[in-house]
Chains A and B, each alone.
Chain A
Amino acid sequence: MDLEREKGLVKQALRNPTAFAELYDHYYPKVFGYALKRTADLEAAQDITSETFFKALKGLWRFRWRNISFSSWLFRIASNETAQYFRQADYRKSASLEALQDQGFEPASPDDPHGELIEAQEELDRHLEFRQVQGRIARLPARYQEVIALRYFEQKQIKEIAEILGKKEGTVKSLLHRAIEKLRETG
C-alpha cells in the first residue's frame, strides 16, 4: 500500500469504518500469518489477530506516525498479544471470534467455517519442518522468539524490528545473536 494513502486511511479510520476496513483488509493476512507462525495454533492465531485489531481500533487515536509506522504499530500490538498468550495458558479474550459470535456476529463467508479450519490445519501439518523449528523456538524466552519470528518468518529488517519492539537496532542485533545461540543449544 502506498505510504501516503496509508497515512490518509489511518487519519480517516478514526471515524470512517470503510477506511478502517481497507487497512484491515491489507493487514489481516500479515497479522494472522505472524500470529500463526508464532503459535502454530489456529485458534490462538485467530484470538491474537482479533484482539490485535480491536486494540488497534480502540487505540487508533493515540497512534502517531512520527514515532512508528502503522505496520510496526500493528505488529507491536500483535507481538504483545502473543507474549500474553504464552504467559497465560487460558488466553482467551473478550474480543475473540467466539465472543463476537456470541454477540451475534456470524461469519459472512458462505464457506463452512469448520471445513476451512480443517483445511487450514492440514496446511499447517504439511509443513513438518516448520513445525519442528517452531516447536524449538517456542521453548525459548519470548524476547528471543519474537526477534527470530520477525527476522526469519516475516523477513523484517533490523530497523523495522527495532521499531516494532521499541528497542535500539544494536539491542535487536545482539538479541538476535543470542536467540540463534539459544536455538542452537536446543537442537
Chain B
Amino acid sequence: MKEEDLINKLENLETPEVDLPGHRQALRAALINSDRFQRRTAMGWARILAPVAAAVALISFFGFVNLIQPELHTTRAMEVARSDAQVQALMAEYGLAITEVRLQDGEAFVLLAPRSVRGHSEDVVHDIQPTSKLYSGSSASRTLNRLLGWVFPHTLDEQRLAPTPEGEVPPDAEEPFRGYVLRVDLAEKTVSGFLEIDHAAVLREMDLTEAHFTESALPRDIGGEEPDPDV
C-alpha cells in the first residue's frame, strides 16, 4: 500500500464511539468523594497535627536541654565569675583569665588560669577562640558557640589564646603557677567556692567531687591577711 493510500485510510477510518455510563458515573462519584475534597474537621486536623506537634516539642526539648541550656549556663557562670569582686581582684592581680567552664551535677566550675598559660587540649583551645564556650567538642555545639558568641559578645575573653601543642607548660617557668577553680552557684548567681591550684590543669580531667572548696580565695597578698587554716 502506498503511503498516501495508508494516510487516506487512516484519515477516513471509522472509529467506534463507545460510552460506558456505569463506569463514567462510578468514577465521577469516586473522584468528587475523594479525600482531596473532604473538609477537615477540627478533630481531623488534630489527628494530623498531634504527632507533628509532639515531634516538634520533643526536638525542642532535647535541643534546649542538650544544646541551648548548657550554653546559657556556661555563659551565665562566666558572667557570675567576672562580676565577683574577689575574682576581679584575682584576675587583675595575677593576670588570670577564664580558660574553661565545666558543668557538672547542676553546678558550674570555672577555671581561672594565667593569661600566659595556653590550653592543654585542642578542644579547650578551640572553644576559647571563637566564643566563651569551653563546654563540649561536638560540631553542633561549636556552631552554636559561634552563634552565641555573636549574640553575647560580652562573654568573649578579651585575650584570645592561641592553640599550642598539647601539654605545653607555662612559658615563664620561673614564676610559680597560680590558678583557681571557682564553683559557681547558678541559681544564686554567686561564686560559692574557690579552689587554688598550683599546676596547669584541664577542668574536665580533674576530680572535683572530693575537692575542698573554700568560701573565699583569701590570697595572701590580696586580702591583706593570711587565710585562716581552720576555715
When the two chains form their complex, are residues B27 and A109 in contact, meaning their CB atoms are under 8 A apart? no
A20 to B37, CA, bound (A): 10
Q: Which residues of B contact A108 (CB under 8 A)?
A: 25-26, 28-29
Q: Shortest CB–CB separation between residue B34 and chain A, in angstroms?
A: 6
A54 to B37, CA, bound (A): 13
Q: Which residues of A contact B21 (CB under 8 A)?
A: 107, 109, 111, 116
A127 to B36, CA, bound (A): 40
With A21-B28, A107-B26: A123-B17 Cβ-Cβ less than 8 Å = yes
With A105-B33, A130-B13, A180-B3: A124-B27 Cβ-Cβ less than 8 Å = no
**B-side interface residues, number (CB < 8 Å):** 31
Q: What sequence of 0s and 1s flags, for each residue 1-26 of chain B, a beta carbon within 8 Å of any chain A beta carbon?
A: 10100110111011111111111111
With A57-B36, A184-B1: A117-B27 Cβ-Cβ less than 8 Å = no
When the two chains form their complex, are residues B13 and A101 in contact, meaning their CB atoms are under 8 A apart? no
Interface residues in A45-63 by Cβ distance below 8 A to B read 46, 49-50, 53-54, 57-58
When the two chains form their complex, are residues B32 and A180 in contact, meaning their CB atoms are under 8 A apart? no
When the two chains form their complex, are residues B3 and A106 in contact, meaning their CB atoms are under 8 A apart? no
Q: Which residues of B contact A103 (CB under 8 A)?
A: 30
Q: Shortest CB–CB separation between residue B30 and chain A, in angstroms?
A: 4
When the two chains form their complex, are residues B16 and A49 in contact, meaning their CB atoms are under 8 A apart? no
When the two chains form their complex, are residues A100 and B30 in contact, meaning their CB atoms are under 8 A apart? yes
A113 to B21, CA, bound (A): 8
When the two chains form their complex, are residues A109 and B22 in contact, meaning their CB atoms are under 8 A apart? yes
**Quick check: is B57 within 8 A (CB to CB) of the other chain?**
no
**Quick check: is A25 within 8 A (CB to CB) of the other chain?**
yes
**Quick check: is A65 within 8 A (CB to CB) of the other chain?**
no
When the two chains form their complex, are residues A148 and B25 in contact, meaning their CB atoms are under 8 A apart? no
Q: Which residues of A contact B19 (CB under 8 A)?
A: 29, 32, 120
When the two chains form their complex, are residues A101 and B26 in contact, meaning their CB atoms are under 8 A apart? yes
With A21-B31, A148-B10, A152-B10: A46-B16 Cβ-Cβ less than 8 Å = no
A21 to B30, CA, bound (A): 11
Q: Which residues of B contact A116 (CB under 8 A)?
A: 20-22
Q: Which residues of B contact A86 (CB under 8 A)?
A: none
Residue in chain A with minimal CB distance to B38: A17
A32 to B37, CA, bound (A): 24
Q: What sequence of 0s and 1s flags, for each residue 92-107 of chain A, a beta carbon within 8 Å of any chain B beta carbon?
A: 0000010011010111
Interface residues in A118-163 by Cβ distance below 8 A to B read 120, 123-124, 126-127, 129-130, 133, 148, 151-153
A105 to B15, CA, bound (A): 31
Q: Shortest CB–CB separation between residue B197 and chain A, in angstroms?
A: 67
When the two chains form their complex, are residues A17 and B32 in contact, meaning their CB atoms are under 8 A apart? yes
**Quick check: is A24 within 8 A (CB to CB) of the other chain?**
yes
A88 to B113, CA, bound (A): 76
A183 to B10, CA, bound (A): 11
When the two chains form their complex, are residues A187 and B31 in contact, meaning their CB atoms are under 8 A apart? no
Which A residues have a C-beta under 8 Å from some C-beta of B? 15-18, 20-21, 24-25, 28-29, 32-33, 36-37, 42, 46, 49-50, 53-54, 57-58, 97, 100-101, 103, 105-109, 111, 113, 116-117, 120, 123-124, 126-127, 129-130, 133, 148, 151-153, 180-181, 183-184, 187
> What are 22 sample pairs from A and B whose C-beta atoms fall under 8 A apart?
A24-B31, A28-B28, A36-B18, A53-B27, A57-B34, A105-B30, A107-B21, A107-B23, A107-B26, A109-B22, A111-B22, A117-B20, A127-B16, A129-B14, A133-B13, A151-B10, A152-B7, A152-B13, A153-B13, A180-B3, A181-B3, A187-B1
Known: A25-B28, A32-B23, A113-B20. 15 other contacts (CB 8 A): A28-B24, A28-B27, A29-B19, A97-B27, A100-B30, A101-B26, A109-B24, A113-B23, A120-B18, A127-B16, A152-B10, A152-B11, A153-B15, A184-B1, A187-B1
Q: What are the nearest 7 A-B pairs in CB distance?
A: A107-B22, A113-B22, A17-B32, A152-B10, A107-B26, A108-B25, A17-B37
